A and B are shown apart, each in its own frame.
Chain A
Amino acid sequence: MSATAAVAAPSVYSGGSSVIALGVLLAEFGMFRQALLRDQVRLYAVQSGLISVLAILVAAVRHLPDLYVLAALSAALKVVIVPIVLRRLLRGIGRAGEDEPAAGWTEIAGSGSLSLANTVLLAIAVAAFGFFSVRALNIRSAVLPITALEISVSVVLVAFVLMIMRRDVASQAIGFLSLENGISLAALVVAAGLPLILEVAFLFDLLVAVVVFELLIRVHHGRAESLSTADLTSLRG
């Protein structure tokens, strides 16, 4: 009926790992939908968990024992510790009433300037740019299919869209953390052999950054009595 050549199927390992990487990208898109900060943090934990699972898969199939340690550490840090830190931060702020506890944990994220569907379309266009540009680079990885690298670059770009479209500091911080997730996925694809000590250093660096983010969010909240960035317009020119 038609003359286009069929695209051959990848191996089971390639297909499976691509599906897990795809889960990371879908979690990134999912963050657009989540209105509650609590749900965003949970989705970030899911995304980090997927990356750890992928690292374990790569370690098992490609025989890179370092990656087991890395997967365990990054799971401990990004799936457990960082969400706990964020939850502690958000519980402690937010508008506290007379009798009710501070509601920062269930605070609704500031909505952006575009509607959700339009933002998703914009993000799809941006992700398309990521896919096409990585394809044009013609990079081969020995460890994971190149689809995973395309996905990781798309995650980075979509995280930028997320950070731009969000109107409160906590969502912007979570967007930045998901950007780091995209970069660690890219590292898994092209830099799986990076010495473990350096990867661990990156992880601790992320932890320090999270702590500083928390402090600055507290400062912002202390002054502005809210998490919104709508009033951060005084410095111009």
Chain B
Amino acid sequence: MFAVILLLLILPFAAAAVSLRAPDRVAGAVTAVTGVACFGLVLALVPAAAHRDLDYLSYLRIDAVSVVFLMATSFLYGAVAVYSIGYLAPSRRSRDPGFSRYSRRFYTGLNLFAWSMLAAPMMNNLALLWIAVEVTTVISALLVAIENTDGAAEAAWKYILIASAGLGLALLATIFTYYAGAQVLGQHYDLSFTPLLHAGARLPHTPVRLAFVLAVVGFGTKMGLFPVHTWLPDAHSEAPTPVSALLSGSLLAVSFYAILRYYQVAAAALGPAFPRDVLLVFGVASLLLAALYLLDQRDVKRMLAYSSVEHMGILAIGVSFGAPIALAGVLLHVLAHAAAKGNAFMGAGVLVHKFGSKRISGISGGLDLLPWSGPLFGIAILALCAMPPFGIFRSEFEIVQGGFSSARYATPAVLIVLVTLAFFGLTVAANRMLLVPARGRVAADLPRGEPSAWMVVPVVAGVAALLVLGVHPPAELTGLLSRAVHQLGAVT
């Protein structure tokens, strides 16, 4: 197992180093192989983590919760790496002079980004966790700006300023947590996770409370919670599509992972009531805002970004319910959302490339002109709206059921209503893009056919994953999830 973990840490970094120098085809191939290999390695970790926690080198710690997030990241890493080969192909064909520099930066950044997101759930230490999240911010900001358009520059600046300020608050949270722990564990302990949890009940209440609120606001900035989500639609729409998929599917999840760790400490110290109330407020606010904004969107990637805010709100609400089944739903939702959002972005990328425009009004007749990506994009949108038999249906069902079983009736009702609103927004837009026959100058010029097979295969894999998660999750996964739920301290 230690070898697996070491490989998980070394491979993406090595791929980044290779991409720095190698020509673009080699870099693409190396990235794709590394991505799929990392996913395989994480899958190998699942049986082990379902039975025990893995501690190495006193800095690395992999428990069931970590593996869930590692799966989300590595699946998208593999999918996006394969997708990128097709995504960059048109630029390569057009013999653009800046292309080799662009592709070098792109692949290096992609690998480093995935490396940092794989490292974060493995950190044993709240301070190192913060540093890992900060590294993801820094690398992803450069990736957002890579397109070098006006919109990309604006989005990247907004992103790094807001996210860094939020992470500053999260650092303050880390410091206050250290202070709380120092009262019990002595001045020179190092914020390791397990001692903090064991000392949970003895931690002084006020600093932990303050630290938790600061952590939710601070890491919530990166997760996309209202009101600090304002960078999210811009950054996710202006970044190149593979990067957007990783941002929405994995980066938001890693920030949520950080919040979950602080939730564990706070619940151990303060009891579950206060942390859950805080998360409930932020979750409902995010969901409400996203549902309303989804009703009036003009840009397809921006629409998907608001859908990410919606799903992050659902995650926060799910944790606030506290019932074991709600927590299981939350963790399953992380996986299913990664797959679905990745699919949606990848499909949107194909649509954007085919029709040459990001505007919803500029895309029509998708089903006719794209025999594979059109239907797959439609399936991805339906999956995001929690249609059975896909994974998100199962996870949201479990979350709502968890809400009812912990005797809260108002919030699940609100959740269902708002998710329905989001469904309207998403499907109206998808309808316009896919089902309405192609019109205007669009119809005459475009040939029917896929731009690249490389861009279809990962989406098919994603749909397969969603079906698996929705219809019959494998037994090891269920075991892993139940262990993770137990660790999160489910108490009704």
Contacts and interface: CB of A to CB of B under 8 A. Distances in A.
B246 interface: no
Interface stretch (B60-68, B182-190, B443-451): B182-190
A170 to B, nearest CB: 11
Contact of A193 (B149, B169, B188, B298): B188
A212 B160 CA distance: 9
Interface string A113-145: 000000000000000000000000111011000
Interface string B144-159: 0100111101111110
B151 A234 contact: yes
B116 to A, nearest CB: 11
Interface in A135-184: 137-139, 141-142, 156, 160, 163, 169, 172-173, 176, 179-180, 183
Interface in A184-237: 186-187, 190-195, 198, 201-202, 205, 208-209, 212-213, 215-216, 219-220, 222-224, 229, 232, 234-235, 237
Interface string B461-473: 0000000000000
B175 A183 contact: yes
Residue among A176, A208, A234, A237 facing the most chain B CB atoms (10 A cut-off) = A237
A159 to B, nearest CB: 8
Contact of A139 (B125, B171, B179): B179
Contacts of A186: 172, 175
A202 B141 contact: no
Contacts of B176: 190
A137 B175 contact: no
B178 A191 contact: yes
Interface in B186-205: 187-188, 190-191
A224 B151 CA distance: 11
B296 A237 contact: yes
Contacts of B298: 237
A73 to B, nearest CB: 16
Nearest to B188: A193
Nearest to B176: A190
B207 interface: yes
B183 to A, nearest CB: 9
B135 interface: yes
A220 B161 contact: no
A216 B141 contact: yes
Given A137-B210, A194-B127, A216-B145, A234 B172 contact: no
B234 A237 contact: no
A176 B171 contact: no
Given A202-B171, A237-B293, A212 B155 contact: no
Contacts of B158: 232, 235
B24 interface: no
Contacts of A234: 150-151, 154
Interface range on chain A (Cβ under 8 Å from partner):
35 or more
B302 interface: yes
Interface range on chain B (Cβ under 8 Å from partner):
35 or more
Contacts of A160: 165
Nearest to A232: B154
B219 to A, nearest CB: 15
Interface in A3-47: none
A220 B157 contact: yes
A63 to B, nearest CB: 12
Nearest to B306: A237
Interface string B284-311: 0000000001001110001000000000
Nearest to B138: A212
Contact of B148 (A194, A198, A219): A219
B179 A191 contact: yes
A100 B293 CA distance: 49
Nearest to B181: A191
Given A183-B171, A235-B233, A209 B138 contact: yes
A25 to B, nearest CB: 16
A213 B138 CA distance: 9
A182 B176 CA distance: 14
A42 B354 CA distance: 51
A198 B171 contact: no
B206 A139 contact: yes
Contacts of A235: 151, 154-155, 158, 233-234, 237-238
Contact of B160 (A190, A216, A237): A216
A193 B187 contact: yes
Contacts of A224: 150, 153
A219 B296 contact: no
A187 B171 CA distance: 9
A180 B138 CA distance: 15
Contact of A205 (B134, B142, B172): B134
B153 A208 contact: no
A191 B298 CA distance: 48
Contact of A223 (B150, B161, B165, B188): B150
A192 B186 CA distance: 12
A198 B127 CA distance: 7
A132 to B, nearest CB: 14
A211 to B, nearest CB: 8
A215 B142 contact: yes
B260 interface: no
Residue among A192, A212, A235 facing the most chain B CB atoms (10 A cut-off) = A235
A183 B138 contact: no
Given A208-B138, A212-B138, A212-B160, A191 B165 contact: no
A213 to B, nearest CB: 7
A176 B134 CA distance: 14
A222 B148 CA distance: 9
19 contacts: A139-B179, A141-B179, A156-B168, A190-B178, A195-B190, A198-B190, A212-B138, A215-B145, A219-B145, A219-B148, A220-B153, A222-B153, A223-B148, A223-B149, A224-B153, A235-B155, A235-B158, A235-B233, A237-B298
Interface of A: 137-139, 141-142, 156, 160, 163, 169, 172-173, 176, 179-180, 183, 186-187, 190-195, 198, 201-202, 205, 208-209, 212-213, 215-216, 219-220, 222-224, 229, 232, 234-235, 237
Closest 4 interchain pairs by CB?
A193-B187, A190-B179, A235-B234, A232-B154
